[in-house]
Structure 1
Amino acid sequence: MTETLKLAGRDLFWPPADELTEAAERIRARLGDWPPTHVDWRICLTAPDVANGGDLIVVADLQQHGEQIARWMTQGAGVIEAVAGRAVLHLGGVRYQLEGHLAEDWIPALAAFLDCGFDPHDALVLALAWRDGDEAKSGDAWPCDLSRFPRVAGLPDAPAQPFAACPDALGLYPVLPTAEWVERVVGFGVKTVQLRRKTAEPDELKKEIARSVAAGREHDAQVFINDHWQAAIDAGAYGVHLGQEDVHTADLHALAAAGVRLGLSTHGYYEMLTALHFRPSYIALGAVFPTTTKAMPTAPQGLARLARYVKLLDGVVPLVAIGGISGDVLPQVLSTGVKSAAVVRAVTEAADAAAAVASLQQAFA
């Protein structure tokens, strides 16, 4: 008999549906221990009289609901438009479009993944990767077969050829603020670094990028440039690292044609699928832990999620863990199976940068 986990104390569905609740509890029981969700989501199969910020209202056709949609969203609710082979989530002014398989149990699966603490767009990805009866199979029931996962729709065309490859195991990956830091760290023997220059005049920025690229060539190191893709092309950089928002503005076709490697940031399942569409050289997974080096759009992922991401994507694309990683936690990060970890303060704020790099490198040995 399949184990169940009672999800007591709140309404999972509106109107209440015992059969759906029982299915959600069976699925949730097979998904393991996760921190409590920070939002008590309620999946509404019929529109409630008054929607709230914890409601996800499922409809078959947005056009049939007209002005109701705008009112629900004003009230803070999300709307999921679901028809055969397609589910579109409208939440917080963002449209998340997915194409894939809608199992008979996709709605209780969605409730179960929401209870695991995943945001609605990531929980919806997992619900579309779920198959009826997965909760009854032996072993790990968590979706980890990439061929079952949905596709993100509505994205710009990817370049005709995948981005140039980089090593599967990038190892220690310091993210550094200046060309001087790049020169120092590649001089310590580090083979992969990133120049993340936040502020600089255009002429100064070009000089910084040129210096960094030259240092990489001198020490046979792979230098990625954060954000400034055109200057990176002009300087002949090994690679460029971009955020999710940049794939809509950067000329990815020019980057690919120039042979520049591409790394893309991701913060969960939906963004991983988005990144995979563009066939990058590597995908960064984060933020693993809280970080003060930049404002993050999502809560820290934690090691349990990182391990799940690695299980899904290992062997598909090189992976880099990033966000709040210090020497103290690096062994735990690597225990998830990820073969590369980006660090910032662990190097730039170390009392002895050379000693810090040597100690961090030992974790990869």
Structure 2
Amino acid sequence: MTQTLPLNDRDLFWPPADELAEAAERIRARLGDWPPTHAPWRICLSAPDEPNGGDLIVVTDAQQHGEQLARWLVQGAGVIVAAENQATLHLGGEKYRLEGHLAEDWVPALAAFLACGFDPHDALLLALAWRDGDEAKSDDAFPHDLAHFPRVAGLPDAPAQAFPRCPERLGLYPVLPDAEWVERVVGFGVKTVQLRRKSAEPADELKREVARCVAAGRAHDAQVFINDHWQAALEAGAYGVHLGQEDVHTADLHALAAGGVRLGLSTHGFYEILTALHFRPSYIALGAVFPTTTKVMPTAPQGLRRLARYVRLLDGVVPLVAIGGIDLQVLPDVLATGVGCAAVVRAVTEAADPAAAVSALQQAFTQ
């Protein structure tokens, strides 16, 4: 059992509030087994004299505190502007806008989720998914009803029609660096692969690579996704495109949807999951589950506990892909969460015998 950090031994609120601290402790006790946070946030219901990077200052009127709000942010604090059925977190130069129900005890719920190690934007989202009295209903009261979750506001319009749906359980999903690898791996019988070519230059070479991958997929009845390079994928008639969170603001999602292209979106927590759901993608990737060296990750590894929570929340809603640091050794634990697909990189591309590695990985999905 993971040792949790006792909340009553911490400076949780400013000004100190025993009743809120007791409620936070009660809620935390029902949220399940989580590692203690290494970032002891303090929730400030009035502004401290010297705000710092560990403070989250809650206000109800942004205009009234306009100049102060700017100063608090410069001093490193976060600011939560809470109003009826909405809350916005300003932190680290980012703005996280949520619309949803604010329970009477959303503030102690926020403290409890922060204590579980969730980043402030995810903790705030979970606090809005909380309902008064949830801690009394079950030994495990962690929010799992998507109908109770808030909506991420301020996003670009989603295409009028949802993206075509992928098979519910995509199985083994190798992410590969070039067309040669794609041709090789679909030749092993793998039915879902991704080309992750880091450079878009030279453009003619990129188009040839993408076209080769698409042709290989058609020849072997495999589903080939193209990472990032959505224009080339659309032009070549690719089965699907995989994009990051930042790409939804620049890629022409309407053209992709109209072209029948499947869309996979990366996520790194609850806030990004809700952002992805807004666009009704073909699948959502959840990661990084474990540490990975294949790319620089914007967040710490999610771990199996969070992955299991994501699967419980989204099972039957959208196909899911676990990604990040997954190899044959940990794959059974990943699949035990209920996720129906696991993306792998080095487990195939750095294997001494890639064909044997693919066979062993595929077998894990049948056990």
TM-score for both structures, normalised by structure 1: 0.98
Q: How does 1:274-289 map to 2 (within 5 A)?
A: 274-289=275-290
Q: Give the partner amino acid of 2:254.
A: H
Question: What is the match of residue 180 of structure 1?
Answer: 180
Contact 1:14 1:44 in 2 (8 A): yes
How far 1:6 sits from its partner (Å)? Answer: 4.0
Identity %: 82
CA separation in 1, counterparts of 2:175 and 2:138?
42
How far 1:359 sits from its partner (Å)? Answer: 0.2
Contact 2:244 2:265 in 1 (8 A): yes
CA separation in 1, counterparts of 2:232 and 2:168?
26
Runs of 5+ unmatched residues, structure 1? none
**Aligned-CA RMSD value:** 1.0
Count of residue pairs the alignment pairs up: 362
CA separation in 2, counterparts of 1:325 and 1:239?
22
How far 1:88 sits from its partner (Å)? Answer: 0.2
Contact 2:8 2:21 in 1 (8 A): no
CA separation in 2, counterparts of 1:138 and 1:69?
39
Contact 1:175 1:193 in 2 (8 A): yes
SS of corresponding position for 2:16: coil
Question: What is the match of residue 10 of structure 1?
Answer: 10
Contact 2:210 2:226 in 1 (8 A): yes
CA separation in 2, counterparts of 1:139 and 1:294?
38
Q: How does 1:202-213 map to 2 (within 5 A)?
A: 202-213=203-214
Q: Verify: 1:323 aligned to 2:324, yes or no.
A: yes
How far 1:9 sits from its partner (Å)? Answer: 3.1
How far 1:38 sits from its partner (Å)? Answer: 1.8
Q: Give the partner amino acid of 1:254.
A: A
CA separation in 2, counterparts of 1:362 and 1:230?
35
How far 1:5 sits from its partner (Å)? Answer: 8.5
CA separation in 1, counterparts of 2:323 and 2:147?
26
Segments of 4+ moved more than 4 angstroms: none
Q: Give the partner amino acid of 2:192.
A: T
Q: Give the partner amino acid of 1:148.
A: H
Question: What is the match of residue 338 of structure 1?
Answer: 339
CA separation in 2, counterparts of 1:66 and 1:262?
40
SS of corresponding position for 1:297: coil
SS of corresponding position for 2:310: helix
Q: How does 1:46-85 map to 2 (within 5 A)?
A: 46-85=46-85
CA separation in 1, counterparts of 2:49 and 2:40?
18
Runs of 5+ unmatched residues, structure 2? none
CA separation in 2, counterparts of 1:284 and 1:29?
30
Question: What is the match of residue 136 of structure 2?
Answer: 136
Q: How does 1:145-294 map to 2 (within 5 A)?
A: 145-199=145-199, 200-294=201-295
Question: What is the match of residue 352 of structure 1?
Answer: 353
Contact 1:85 1:100 in 2 (8 A): yes
TM-score for both structures, normalised by structure 2: 0.97
Q: Give the partner amino acid of 2:364.
A: A
